[in-house]
Structure formats: structure tokens, C-alpha cells
Structure 1
Amino acid sequence: MKKQFLFLIFSFFALTLYADVKLPNVLGSNMVLQQQSTTKLWGWAFPGEKIKITASWDNKTIETTADGNAKWQIDLQTPKFGGPYQIVVQGNNKIVLENIMIGEVWVCSGQSNMEWNYHLGVPGIKDELAQAGKLNIRFFSMPKTTSKTPQDNVEGSWTVCDSNSLKAFSAVGYYFGKQLSQDLNVPIGLISSNWGGTPAEVWTPADLVENNPTLKEAATKKAPVAWWPVTPGYTYNAMIAPIVNFNIAGAIWYQGESNTLTSSSYAELMNTMIGSWRKAWNKNLPFYYVQIAPFKYDRYNIGALVREAQTKNLSTENTGMVVISDLVSDTLNIHPVNKKDVGLRLANWALAETYGTKKGAYKSPIFKSFTVNGSNGLIDFDNAEMGLMLKGEKAKEIFVAGADQVFYPAMVKIKGNTIVVSSKQVKKPEAIRYQFSNAGIGNIFSKAGLPVAPFRTDNWEVNTGSLK
């Protein structure tokens, strides 16, 4: 009995000797912490082990103790932007985090168009390499990984933006961050968490999908593929859950192409996903997203229906949508090569709505109302205070139908922020559709230069049959 007791005592002290304090990988040298906020530091240590933390911006030491699950967490108040700083974490061992900046942190998520980088082909980004190291930007790139349950750590490390690290990072994210850095004159931290081909279900906690009959039914229609996960929650658990303790300013999102066959539930799915992220971060995160681009899918109108759902998501508080139909040069390429202007338009939303530094128009005109005056249909728009204009002599991709639901190309006259639509074949307009197809590209813009978002005024059944 005495030997057993001595063995237990020896084991306890042996474990204590090797119970080094550990941090998750997202807490590391070169990171950016959200300025003027309460940010969390957390990790693991032997139960009961005392941990002291000292940040060089105020040199105050704060303390906490690891709990019975060998976990610890502490709140740290961050100052106004600046740096570089140092954080010392002292337990049985000592961890020194160097070259830390205080600034603004954003998550860049979605599928392949957010993932797209220098190596995959982005015109113009080669010109960025020489100056990349002069920008005060830091990157954290999530590896592609999945989990059935929420994880508390992920592989990866923070890197300083330079000519080498930029090549593997999201081009949209980079251009977004560059614009913020230049306009706000603060350090920018960008966390890239994306995976080409993934449907939005995998970025949403599984229980929220499984307990919603509409979302559950749509999820069952996702056939397994060899290159990306389709199981609800799997990338959320492995690529979002590990960083929800890390305070961020907001998120940008470019996804939707992989939900074209279940567009009827997409708006609800996105609202559910956004809500789950906000709950996890415990804040009303700004969420700015890209409307999917024109592309020739193999079924009728499935892209149009996703774009329609994305427009509906604008009713969700603190969201913004970038329309990019004018940035597409090849509708046979699902990855439009112009990533710079996509990033800049996302940045303009953030600068205006999150930071209050609006420089000009950043919202595309959105359909507001439809009225009929004789043989004319009148469409009014939000976000067109300066008026509308055509780029070209005749309007493209706009159609009008009567009660027979047969659509004809429309003639358009512009009066301020109203378009007047008519057709000799339609005596009384019942519905108008603009750029409501997979690959159609319209040419109606605000006078500020932003494309009108695709729309339809009807709720008639839409043909989504195969093109083959």
C-alpha cells in the first residue's frame, strides 16, 4: 500500500514536471490582435497550475489557473492599434510571443473563389509582390481539415505578408486587407479559412442543419465527392470552431456555386450559418459577401436562383453584398480572374459600414418596387441616389412578360433612379426580369459605376431543367 502511495506521489510530480503550458496555434508570434477590445488568451496546462501573462504594451501581469480539465482562459484588454509588442506566458515553462501587432482582424472564408491565389492565376498580383512586405498585414492560413466534433486547435502559424507568403494566400482576402490597411492606417490580420467546392452546410454547425427539416432535406441532396466534404458541420468544427475565441472585426465570404442545386433553401441556410458564427463569437459580426458570378451551368437558371437568395440575405442585419457581374470576362470560367476589384468592393463595404469612412458609393442598386403604367413597367431602386445609366446604346439581359408568362426582350428608358420597361409584344407588363439567368451579363449601372443587382419582379415557377 505504501509503495502504491509513493508511486502515485511520484507520478503526480513527474506529470507536473512535464505539464508545460501550451497555446493554440492561432495564438503565436507575428499575430494581429483586435484593437481596443477584450481578447481572449487560452490554452492548456496541468490542473491547478498558475499562469502569469504580461503584455509589453502596459507591462501589467495578469494571472489565472488551469482548471480540472487542464484548460485555462483569460481576458486581455488590447490598446489602440500599434506594435510590435511582446506577450510572455509564464507557467512551469515560459512562452514568449514576439512581433505582435494590434489592429483589425478579419476572417476570409468560402470556397474556391475565396481560396484563389497567385499560384492558381490572378492577373496583376505579380505586381503586388515587390510591395507586399511594406504593408502592415499578417496572414494565418487554415489547412483543409474536417472533424465530426468541434475542435479547439488547428495547425498553422501567423506569417508576415511578403513576396513569398502572399503567393499562397487568398487574393480576394489580400486586396481586401490591403485597402483596409491603407485607408485605416492600421495593422491588418487576415485568417484564411476556405475550401474549394464546399457547400455552405459544411460551414454550419451540424445540429442546426439536422434540426431544421428544410436544411436537412437539402443537405441530403449533396452527393459525396472525392475532393471536398459535404457533411454538415465538418469544416465548421475543424476550421471555424478552433478560432472562435480569437476576437475578430468581421468576416468576408465568397461561396454559393456549390449550392446551386438547392437554391430554395440557400437564404435560410446562410442566415443560419451567419447566426451561428455570431453566436460563437458572441458579437454581431459584420458579414460581407460576394454574389456569385455569371457562369454557364448545365441546368437552366440555377445560378440566377442562388443570386436571388443572396440578395434576400441583405435583409439580415449587418450584412453587405458585392455584385460582380461586370467583372466577368469569360462565363465558361467559374473562377473569374479579376480578384482585385472583388476585394476592393468588399473593402468599401467594410470601410463604410464597419469603420464609418465612406469615400463614395459602395452599394449596388437593388430592386425596390414594380408598378405598371399602361403598357410600361416602372422599376424603382434602392442605392441609386445619383441615378442610373446604361453602358452601351441598348439595355441587355432585361425581359418583360404579360399574363401569358412569355418573356420578350425589353426596351428601356432611364429616368433618374427609375427604369421604364416596355415591349411591342406585351400590352400590359406582368413581370420583368433583369440578368435573371445563369450567364447573362447586363449593362445597367448606377451613375456611381456599380452594376445593378440581378432581379425579377415575379414569383413564377422557374425552369431549372438540364441543358442537355
Structure 2
Amino acid sequence: MNIVRILICYLFLFPTGSFAAVVDSLRIADALQSNMVIQQNRPFKVWGKADPGGKVGIHADWLPAPTEVYADANGNFMGIIPVPKVEKGDFTPHRMGVTAGDEQVELSNLLIGDVWICSGQSNMQFSVREMKGAEQVISTADQPHIRLLNVALNFSETPLENFKGSWQTCSPESVAGFSAVGYSFGKKLLDNLNIPIGLVFTGIGASSVQAYIPKADLAADTMLNRVYLQPYLADPKSTEPVDGGFSFEKVMRPYLLYNAMVHPLINLSIKGVVWYQGEANHLERASYVRATQTMINSWRRDFSQGQLPFYYVQIAPFFHDKEDPALAFDAYFREAQEKIATLNNTYMVSTLDVGEARDLHPKNKKPVGERLAAVALNRAYNQLDVVYQGPVVDEVEVAGSTAYVSFKPETLGTGLQTNDGQSPQFFYVAGDDRVFYPAKAHIEGSRIVVESNNVTRIAAVRYAFFNYPVTNLENKESFPALPFRTDTWEEE
């Protein structure tokens, strides 16, 4: 095809003049907008409304010819077009158009790259303007190859197709109100992959995991139905009309956030999901594990894009207004969170070392996002030289009043260290009486030696196993050691 024919074809697909005029019957989905990132190397759905039975043409400047589909009897249409794999450094702006009769909608300034959904409660919602080092982050956030979409808060008793929110080019102005964890995650991906990154935040502070699970999936699981769904359906609030306004009670209700803030996105092609949630459910154990794994499976099913990567964050240390190391309900919850990762293609990152014991919303969010990105680089992008794990206990050998803690070799990186040059903190030991005492610990090669003058025969070792430990033990790549306990004693 010579240059004249290319020009003629382009003018046919994208006529000059205003292309995105107000239209009567043609409407494309809210997720599809100018400035968005289109997921590379994956079939891309284009859906919306048109005249029932009418022909709809879908044009993209990377396709040689338009794709044509027909709206059904209700006026719904969906076309699927191929999207090429993007090469490193390719930030070419693209255009896509949809036509129906004499109506036309154009999307411009599109990039082809990878799209990640960022979801959860307040520590994921926590904005860039609130984070540690915000001024520096914002001043350098002129990143036109990152695109941001904030899905507006809403609730619905039934699944919705529409939402409010607009795709924006990342700039100091647009990034300030975006998720600090999400942006830190996307920025590290951009820096390492050199491809466009799209970030979609859909979540709200104080929200519970059950709020993000479809009603039918809650009903189908005996435990989830009993713990979450039936208590809500028995509450008179379940019969009241639901509006879009925030309340701490409403964000705990089952399935309403899924219907309003996840379901409208399920036709969008994505690369994966990053998730930071748990504080709202922190007194739960087995039901939370079941609920989160059910949520992951339901999202994977509804997005219909295979076993999507799902990387999540363990809750940060917090003292709950009580400085008592005997209080360990959050530690048991962190232990439960680890079990979520028994589901395939999931992984948990720790924040114990960057938390703030007296602040439920620690401000040091950059390491959290970057750790999620390290997981993605290694596991989703096959950069196997990228370290993404902190030390995970493998074996504990006991000799009287001394314990030797070994870690899984693949989690050690290039070795153990502490981030402050001091001895490792927050090791506790107990004898058969189950009374725990603080223990001394030091690094010996690739293991930790733990000793106590209070216990003559160690029966159990615990590390960072209480509500609010801000830890210093890590590998030399600065990934913190995960909390653990060697006992199986029941939680009091």
C-alpha cells in the first residue's frame, strides 16, 4: 500500500473535524476513553449501545480494515479486535473509532501497553499527596506514558454497566489524588519495562473483602453465605434503597462495591491486579482466606482472561491504642493472609519494616508499590534476576535455650542484614508453659541464632508475632523477613 492509499484509508477511518460529537443512540462503554492504555498482545473488547439490530463499525489505526458487528435486540454490541505486542520504547499515540449509521465516536491519544487494576481499602486509596516525599514525587510526575483512571465511588444492589471516572495522562496535577501504592507500582514498571502502563484504581477506604465479591458467589459457598451474606440479608438495611454516598457501614456490606465498581470493568483487557485490603476484616481468619480466594476466582472468571496475576499486601503494624506485645490478633490475621497465596498465581508482600506502629495509614508507600512491582517483574514479566521475596522461615532447630532459625534459600537474596545495623528485633521464645519472653538474636551467616536466659528449654519461637512490630531484619535487597511462629497453639 503506497502513501496515497494509506492517507485515503486513514481519512476514511478517522475523518477530520470533531469526531466525538454528542450522539443519540451510539454510546461506548465508560471504560473506553481517550487517553487510555489498551492492553497489548490480547484480544480487546469494544462494547456499548447502538440502535437495536444496527451495524457497528470498529476502526483502529493499527488494523488494516474495520471490524463490523451488529447490536442485539436490546441495543448491546461487542466487537473484539486484535492488539499487537508493544515493543520497548514504543509510545506511539493511537486512535480508534466506532461508527453506527451516521453517528461516530473517536478515541484519541491511546497507548498500547499493560493495564493493571489497583484495588482495596484505605491503604491502597491513600493518595500521592499524602505519602512520604510527596512533594518530590509530584514534582517529577510528568509521566505521559502512564495513564490513570479513578473509578468514582458507587454502590449498587444489582450489577452495573456504567461508572464515573476519566482516563488521564499522568502529570503533577492528575497524580496527586491517585493511589500512592498504585502510582509507585506503575512507575517502577515503566522504568523497568519501558512500555506504557495503565493504572485503574477502584476501591474505597474502610471497605471489606465481602463488598467486592459477587452475590451469587457468596451464596454458593456455605461459609461465606453464613458469615457474610445471610447476616446482611437479614438486616433491614438490605431492603433500603442504595445511593452512591459514603458511609463506614455501607462499605462493609456484601457485593455492593463489586456491582458498582468492578462489574463495569470486566470486559476491559488487563494484565493483572494488585490489592491492599484487610484492616476491615482483621479479626477474621479462615473466612477471610476463603473470601479473598473466592473474590480472586470470581474476578478471574468474570474478566475471562485466564489466571490473572493477583499480588496483594499484608497489613501493616498497628498498635490499636494498646502498647502490649502480648496482643497478637493482627499477627494471626497476617498469618491467615499468607494462606491466600496457596491459590495459583498469587503472591503476598510484607510491609512490617515500613509501617508506623501508631498510624493505621503509614505514609511510606513507595516501597510497598515497588515491592508489588518487583513481584510482577519476576513472575509476570519473567525477569527472573529481579529479587522480590523477603526471608521466609524454613526450619528452626532447638538446643536447650538456643534456637537456630534457617530461611528458604530462594528468599535470602544475597544474604541477611538489619536495616539499622542493630541486632534483629522481635524474637520471642516460650517453654512448655507457653509464656513468651523477648529473646536476644544475632545473624550468623544465613541463619539467626536466638537465645534466652528466661527459658531453659525452648518449646516455641515467634518472630514479629504481635500487633505492631516495625521490623529491621531483611535480606540485602531490603525485603523484610516475614513474621512466623513455630507453635500451633490456638489463638486465645
User: Tell me, what secondary structure is at the counterpart of 1:438?
Assistant: coil
Letter in 1 for 2:315: I
Shift of 1:53: 0.9
Q: Does 1:148 align with 2:157?
A: yes
For residues 114-139 of structure 1, the C-alpha deviation after alignment (integer angstroms, 9 at most, x for no partner) is 111144x2232222333323441111
Partner of 1:162: 171
Shift of 1:238: 0.8
User: Tell me, what secondary structure is at the counterpart of 1:315?
Assistant: coil
Letter in 2 for 1:422: E
Task: Give the Cα–Cα distance (whole angstroms) in 1 for the partners of residues 424 and 99 of structure 2.
Answer: 67
Letter in 1 for 2:417: M
Query: Does structure 1 conserve the Cα–Cα contact (< 8 Å) formed by 2:289 and 2:337?
Result: yes
1:24-423 paired onto structure 2 within 5 Å: 24-81=29-86, 82-92=91-101, 93-119=103-129, 121-219=130-228, 226-227=247-248, 228-282=250-304, 283-297=306-320, 300-328=327-355, 330-382=356-408, 383-390=411-418, 391-423=420-452
Task: Give the Cα–Cα distance (whole angstroms) in 2 for the partners of residues 213 and 371 of structure 1.
Answer: 40
Once the two structures are aligned, what percentage of the paired residues are identical?
38
Aligned residue pair count: 444
For residues 133-187 of structure 1, the C-alpha deviation after alignment (integer angstroms, 9 at most, x for no partner) is 3441111110111111221221122111112111111111111111111211111
For residues 297-329 of structure 1, the C-alpha deviation after alignment (integer angstroms, 9 at most, x for no partner) is 26832211221112222222111222111112x
Letter in 2 for 1:308: E
Task: Give the Cα–Cα distance (whole angstroms) in 1 for the partners of residues 300 and 70 of structure 2.
Answer: 28
Structure 1: gaps of 5 or more residues? 1-17, 464-468
Task: Give the Cα–Cα distance (whole angstroms) in 1 for the partners of residues 319 and 254 of structure 2.
Answer: 27
CA RMSD of aligned residues (A): 2.1
Letter in 2 for 1:199: S
Structure 2: gaps of 5 or more residues? 1-22, 238-245
Query: Does structure 2 conserve the Cα–Cα contact (< 8 Å) formed by 1:348 and 1:358?
Result: no
Letter in 2 for 1:226: S
Query: Does structure 1 conserve the Cα–Cα contact (< 8 Å) formed by 2:163 and 2:260?
Result: yes
Letter in 1 for 2:281: N
Letter in 1 for 2:27: K
Query: Does structure 2 conserve the Cα–Cα contact (< 8 Å) formed by 1:135 and 1:181?
Result: no
Shift of 1:254: 0.9
User: Tell me, what secondary structure is at the counterpart of 1:136?
Assistant: strand
Shift of 1:446: 1.6
Query: Does structure 2 conserve the Cα–Cα contact (< 8 Å) formed by 1:24 and 1:154?
Result: no
Query: Does structure 2 conserve the Cα–Cα contact (< 8 Å) formed by 1:434 and 1:442?
Result: no
Task: Give the Cα–Cα distance (whole angstroms) in 2 for the partners of residues 62 and 226 of structure 1.
Answer: 44
Query: Does structure 2 conserve the Cα–Cα contact (< 8 Å) formed by 1:376 and 1:429?
Result: yes
Task: Give the Cα–Cα distance (whole angstroms) in 1 for the partners of residues 401 and 120 of structure 2.
Answer: 44
Task: Give the Cα–Cα distance (whole angstroms) in 2 for the partners of residues 178 and 442 of structure 1.
Answer: 26
For residues 395-451 of structure 1, the C-alpha deviation after alignment (integer angstroms, 9 at most, x for no partner) is 321111121111111222433333232323223222111111111223221233221
Q: Relative to structure 2, which stretch is displaced further, 100-109 or 389-398?
A: 389-398
Task: Give the Cα–Cα distance (whole angstroms) in 2 for the partners of residues 85 and 361 of structure 1.
Answer: 35
Task: Give the Cα–Cα distance (whole angstroms) in 1 for the partners of residues 228 and 34 of structure 2.
Answer: 39
Task: Give the Cα–Cα distance (whole angstroms) in 2 for the partners of residues 414 and 217 of structure 1.
Answer: 47
1:6-21 paired onto structure 2 within 5 Å: 20-21=25-26
Partner of 1:462: 491
User: Tell me, what secondary structure is at the counterpart of 2:371?
Assistant: helix
User: Tell me, what secondary structure is at the counterpart of 2:202?
Assistant: strand
Task: Give the Cα–Cα distance (whole angstroms) in 2 for the partners of residues 288 and 103 of structure 1.
Answer: 19
Q: Relative to structure 2, which stretch is displaced further, 222-231 or 88-97?
A: 222-231
Task: Give the Cα–Cα distance (whole angstroms) in 1 for the partners of residues 253 and 108 of structure 2.
Answer: 38
Query: Does structure 1 conserve the Cα–Cα contact (< 8 Å) formed by 2:119 and 2:202?
Result: yes
Query: Does structure 1 conserve the Cα–Cα contact (< 8 Å) formed by 2:144 and 2:169?
Result: no
User: Tell me, what secondary structure is at the counterpart of 2:223?
Assistant: helix
